[in-house]
Amino acid sequence: MKKPLTLAALAAATLLDSGCATRTTATGGKETNLLGGAVVMASESFQPVTPATVNTNTTTLVGKNGPSGRKVSLLWGLLTFNDY
Q: What is the pLDDT of residues 11-49, one digit of tens each?
A: 777 766 666 788 888 778 888 888 778 888 888 877 777
**Between β-strands 79-82 and 54-57, what pairing exists: parallel, antiparallel or unpaired?**
parallel
What's phi and psi for 63, nearest 5 deg?
Answer: -65, 50
39-70 pLDDT, tens digit per residue, is 888 888 777 777 878 777 776 666 567 677 78
What pLDDT does residue 64 have?
64
Cα separations in angstroms, 56 against 5, 20, 73 = 37, 24, 10
Q: How many residues does the chain have?
A: 84
